[in-house]
């Protein structure tokens, strides 16, 4: 027993003690004594020699060697590499496994072509529970980057033409195929790869052969063609810039285009409306760029009568020069005869190159206040308690001669209550000018159930043509009318808060209400005005009320009202029926049913529009009874207590 105990103690001592020795490990004991694994790190070149400096394209490597405590290589172990300053150098990849010789290595390169300075590379690994690290310092030296002379093809361009420009980047005399290089291209005039370089260069990265290639276009950022000698420059950080030149032919005008006419419609002279339109043409080169300082001859090709070019009444051709953007503008003035106008713009240097205007028309005359007419398909609408009951509003317009206005004349609408479409544009049917919009009942519902609607457009006042020349001129008598307004309360004067179409005049004149509301003291001596007309639509009730019942044995009559507004009728189309007791009392006729439409008079808010209904009776006697039923267009029927005949 003593022998066995001694052996056990000896074994325990051996297990706890182990052998001695030193290690280069930065970790703790590995449990087998003080000896630890070791690691060394070095930066080597492509030949395997240790170096202290790296440069672009130098193929330098960071090499770590890992050995155990006995100095034997440790294979298959993960090694992590880091660099102290990533702005100086970069590693690729950042990890590697040790090989059979205990070696792991990764590429180390300058972070960029312009990187300079010094840094440390550190390798770390774990062996068992021991962390092992090692590091070494190195410097990053300047890269010998160079750009080749520019290759430009072709060097002679037509106006607006293109050329290919390229340069080869090399490092230490070798094309930078594996190292991308950013090359900035710029030109004294024109675009590089479609981008204007007037405010800075256009950057292009070299390809796998070290070549950076771009396309030069001889058109500047504003769309204007370049001409003469153009200098192209290529540059890159750390390399000397390279320049080259090419020659661009001067642009030649070979196209004229029509741009627009503003406005497209003018009116006969003296009508008081627009009599002048500005037409624009543009001179272009063969590549579609605008050209300045090109002489252009402008002439009237279609003249309905009296149209002037650049001056009223002057039909002679004029010559103008295109501006900095290639535009040529000329004014056309109307004459006294309506019709289409066509103006031609031709190059003075080549008259067969021309364009002609489109869409310009001299109209017979603008809308006249005297020839403005607004109507409604139905005025008495079932709208006090019902949304969406609709009616059609139609405006008919003519000039002061009673002729249709031009198609496309826009009429504007505004309403005190309900909802109305904002505008319509006139068209001619059977040569009569009109347009229509829809009005529907909805909130707001004006007190009293009368909703004012105003239709208006630009036009002219009426006048007495004293000398009969169809032109408003000295000696003619103007029929004054002030600003148009919507007379919501039908007071026949403008009140604060009511919709108005201001024209800015302040001349003295009498105001008016009714169908053609005019605000007082807003007149001037001109012919132009806002042509207008107002209508009133009725928001009638769904439920009726009756009054003024009068009965004999041969006749029964009463007044039929909207129950919510007693001055209003029931909606147009309301039906009235009756039954009698006994049935020997016959109803021969019901006059006033179904109800016809009631047309209110604007400016008369207190007018009584209730409808009189009369029943003709036969075979009736005193004491017989007649029962009245009123049915609204929506279908709601209301039956009143029986009326006993006297």
**Which whole number is the average pLDDT over 154-179?**
88
Tokens found for residue 604: 């008369």
The mean-pLDDT minimum among 103-107, 174-178, 328-332, 433-437 falls in 174-178
- Note the Cα 499 to chain centre separation in Å: 30
Task: Find all residues with CB under 8 Å of 189, minimum gap 6, and list them.
Answer: 218, 220, 226, 230, 248
Residue scoring higher pLDDT (210 or 415) = 415
- What is the rounded CA–CA span in Å between residue 96 and residue 65? 11
**Which whole number is the average pLDDT over 342-359?**
95
User: Edge-to-edge strands of the sheet including 103-110?
Assistant: 38-44, 61-67, 103-110, 89-92
Of the candidates 557, 563, 553, which has an alpha carbon nearest to the alpha carbon of residue 613? Answer: 557
pLDDT band at 418 (very low <50, low <70, confident <90, very high): very high
CA distances from residue 365 to 335, 395, 527, 529 in whole angstroms, order as listed:
12, 17, 12, 13
- What is the rounded CA–CA span in Å between residue 295 and residue 326? 10
8 A C-beta contact, residue 576 and residue 569: no
Residue scoring higher pLDDT (41 or 20) = 41
Residue 26 clears pLDDT 80, i.e. is over it: no
8 A C-beta contact, residue 466 and residue 460: no
pLDDT band at 19 (very low <50, low <70, confident <90, very high): very low
Give the residues across from 562 on adjacent strands: 544
Whole-number pLDDT of residue 105 = 95
Nearest 5°: the CA angle 282, 285, 288 is 80
Residue 28 clears pLDDT 50, i.e. is over it: no
Give the residues across from 230 on adjacent strands: 246
Kindly state the percentage of the chain with pLDDT values over 90: 74
CA distances from residue 84 to 91, 125, 301, 323 in whole angstroms, order as listed:
11, 17, 82, 62
Of the candidates 315, 303, 307, 322, which has an alpha carbon nearest to the alpha carbon of residue 276? Answer: 307
8 A C-beta contact, residue 354 and residue 360: no
Whole-number pLDDT of residue 20 = 33
pLDDT band at 10 (very low <50, low <70, confident <90, very high): very low
Backbone angles phi, psi at 178, to 5 degrees: -95, -5
The mean-pLDDT minimum among 56-70, 313-327, 566-580 falls in 56-70
- What is the rounded CA–CA span in Å between residue 171 and residue 177? 9
- What is the rounded CA–CA span in Å between residue 398 and residue 403? 5
| Averaged pLDDT of the chain | 90
Kindly state the percentage of the chain with pLDDT values over 70: 94
Residue 11 clears pLDDT 80, i.e. is over it: no
Whole-number pLDDT of residue 114 = 74
Give the residues across from 579 on adjacent strands: 627
Q: What do you get for the CA distance between the two ends of the chain, in Å?
A: 149
8 A C-beta contact, residue 337 and residue 304: yes
Residue 72 clears pLDDT 80, i.e. is over it: yes
The mean-pLDDT minimum among 219-228, 388-397, 485-494, 611-620 falls in 219-228
Whole-number pLDDT of residue 458 = 94
**Which whole number is the average pLDDT over 489-506?**
97
Peptide bond into 594 cis (omega under 30): yes
3-state DSSP of 508-533? CCCCECCCCCECCCCECCCCEEEEEE
- What is the rounded CA–CA span in Å between residue 430 and residue 262? 29
Residue 612 clears pLDDT 80, i.e. is over it: yes
- What is the rounded CA–CA span in Å between residue 46 and residue 63? 12
Residue 17 clears pLDDT 60, i.e. is over it: no
Q: Which domains does the chain have, with CATH numbers?
A: 38-140 (2.60.40.10), 145-248 (2.60.40.10), 258-363 (2.60.40.10), 369-539 (2.60.40.10), 541-644 (2.60.40)
8 A C-beta contact, residue 307 and residue 341: yes
What H or E segment, with its residue span, contains residue 477? strand 477-478
Which residue shows structure tokens 């390399």? 239
Whole-number pLDDT of residue 321 = 97
Label the pairing between strands 53-54 and 130-140.
Answer: parallel
Of the candidates 247, 248, 345, which has an alpha carbon nearest to the alpha carbon of residue 289? Answer: 248
**Which whole number is the average pLDDT over 4-9?**
34
CA distances from residue 15 to 4, 8, 31, 33, 353 in whole angstroms, order as listed:
17, 11, 10, 11, 109
Give the residues across from 125 on adjacent strands: 132
User: Whole-prediction pTM value?
Assistant: 0.55
Compute how many other C-beta atoms are within 10 angstroms of the C-beta atom of residue 134: 20
**How big is the chain, counted in residues?**
646
Please write the tens of the pLDDT for every residue from 508-560.
Answer: 999 999 999 999 999 999 999 999 999 999 999 999 999 999 999 999 999 99
Residue 636 clears pLDDT 90, i.e. is over it: yes
Residue 27 clears pLDDT 80, i.e. is over it: no
The mean-pLDDT minimum among 109-113, 212-216, 576-580, 628-632 falls in 109-113
Residue scoring higher pLDDT (252 or 470) = 252
SS3 state of residue 205: strand
What H or E segment, with its residue span, contains residue 4? helix 2-17
């Amino acid at each position: 027993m003593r022998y066995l105990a001694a052996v056990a103690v000896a074994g325990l001592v051996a297990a706890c003690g182990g052998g001695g020795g030193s290690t280069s490990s930065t970790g703790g004991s590995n449990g087998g004594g003080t000896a630890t694994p070791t690691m060394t790190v070095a930066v080597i070149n492509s030949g395997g020699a240790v170096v202290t400096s790296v440069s672009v394209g130098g193929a330098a490597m960071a090499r770590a060697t890992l050995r155990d405590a006995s100095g034997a290589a440790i294979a298959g172990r993960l090694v992590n590499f880091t660099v102290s300053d990533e702005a100086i150098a970069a590693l690729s990849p950042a990890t590697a496994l040790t090989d059979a010789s205990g070696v792991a290595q990764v590429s180390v390169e300058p972070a960029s072509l312009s990187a300079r300075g010094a840094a440390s590379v550190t390798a770390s690994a774990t062996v068992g529970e021991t962390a092992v690290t090692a590091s070494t310092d190195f410097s990053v030296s300047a890269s010998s980057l160079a750009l080749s002379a520019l290759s430009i093809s072709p060097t002679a361009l037509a106006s607006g033409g293109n050329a290919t420009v390229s340069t080869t980047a090399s490092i230490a005399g070798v094309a930078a195929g594996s190292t991308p290089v950013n090359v900035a291209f710029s030109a004294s005039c024109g675009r590089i790869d479609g981008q204007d370089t007037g405010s800075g260069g256009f950057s292009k990265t070299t390809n796998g052969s070290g070549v950076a290639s771009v396309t030069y276009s001889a058109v500047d950022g504003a769309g204007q063609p370049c001409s003469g000698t153009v200098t192209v420059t290529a540059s890159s950080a750390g390399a000397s810039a390279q320049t080259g030149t090419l020659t661009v032919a001067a642009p030649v005008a070979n196209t004229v285009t029509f741009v627009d006419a503003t406005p497209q419609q003018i009116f006969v002279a003296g009508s008081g409306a627009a009599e002048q339109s500005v037409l624009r043409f543009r001179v272009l080169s063969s590549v579609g760029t605008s050209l300045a300082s090109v002489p252009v001859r402008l002439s009237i090709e279609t003249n309905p009568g009296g149209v002037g070019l650049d001056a009223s009444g002057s039909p002679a051709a004029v010559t103008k020069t295109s501006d900095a953007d290639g535009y040529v503008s000329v004014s056309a003035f109307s004459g006294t005869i309506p019709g289409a106008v066509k103006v031609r713009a031709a190059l003075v240097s080549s008259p067969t190159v021309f364009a002609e205007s489109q869409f310009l028309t001299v109209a017979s005359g603008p809308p006249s206040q005297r020839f403005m007419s607004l109507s409604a398909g139905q005025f008495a609408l079932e709208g006090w308690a019902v949304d969406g009951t609709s009616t059609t509003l139609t405006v008919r317009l003519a000039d002061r001669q009673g002729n249709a206005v031009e198609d496309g004349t826009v009429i504007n609408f505004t309403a005190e209550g309900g909802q109305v479409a904002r505008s319509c544009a006139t068209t001619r049917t059977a040569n009569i000018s009109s347009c229509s919009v829809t009005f529907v009942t909805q909130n707001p519902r004006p007190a009293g159930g009368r909703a004012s609607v105003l239709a208006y457009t630009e036009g002219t006042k009426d006048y007495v043509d004293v000398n009969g020349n169809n032109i408003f001129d000295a000696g003619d008598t103007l029929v004054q009318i002030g600003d148009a307004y919507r007379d919501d309360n039908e007071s026949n004067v403008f009140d604060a808060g009511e919709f108005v179409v201001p024209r800015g005049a302040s001349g003295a004149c009498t105001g008016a209400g009714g169908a053609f509301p005019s605000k007082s003291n807003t007149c001037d001596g001109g012919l132009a005005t806002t042509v207008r007309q107002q209508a009133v639509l009725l928001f009638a009730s769904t439920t009726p009320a009756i009054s003024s019942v009068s009965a004999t044995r041969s006749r029964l009559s009463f007044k039929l009202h909207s129950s919510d507004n007693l001055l209003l009728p029931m909606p147009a189309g309301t039906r009235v029926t009756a039954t009698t007791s006994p049935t020997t009392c016959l109803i021969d006729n019901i006059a006033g049913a179904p109800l016809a439409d009631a047309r209110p008079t604007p400016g008369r808010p207190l007018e009584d529009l209730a409808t009189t209904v009369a029943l003709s009776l036969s075979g009736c006697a005193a004491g017989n009874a007649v029962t009245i039923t009123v049915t609204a267009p929506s279908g709601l029927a209301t039956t009143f207590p029986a009326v006993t005949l006297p």
